[in-house]
Amino acid sequence: MPCPYQESDDGPLEGPVDLSRLTARERQVLLLLGGGPSNGELSRRLRISERTVKAHISRILIKTGQSTRLQAAMVSALHHDQLCPSPDCRWSLAAGSPPHDPGAGEVSAA
């Protein structure tokens, strides 16, 4: 069965992702977005205002070329090892397989 994304112009992400333009704080916010927190949860965790969280997310979307918060969360998951400063993080993709390997034909529960 072919990948459904090949049959449409829509995909889970908007083109290639360049993380080099993100500030350290934007990288931190993007990494945390992968866990699906609300703006309020991010605000409390990072000890910043919700307005600042929204500003960071807006800049992350622009700089990564994504259109939605969900796409940013996917970028976070797929690029975790580039975003996470901890070499021994339990969520590291280097130790296992990526969350989606198009060649494998199934999505793993990474």
Q: What is the pLDDT of residues 66-83, one digit of tens each?
A: 999 999 999 998 888 888
pLDDT in the model for residue 53 = 98
pLDDT in the model for residue 82 = 86
Is 18-85 a CATH 3.30.2010.10 domain? Answer: no
Q: Quickly list DSSP for the chain.
A: ---GGGGSS--SS-S----TT--HHHHHHHHHHTT---HHHHHHHHTS-HHHHHHHHHHHHHHHT-SSHHHHHHHHHHTHHHH---TT-TT-STTS--SEETTTTEE---
Listed by start position, the domains of the chain span 18-85
Q: What is the pLDDT of residues 13-48, one digit of tens each?
A: 777 889 999 999 999 999 999 999 999 999 999 999
Predicted TM-score of the model (pTM): 0.73
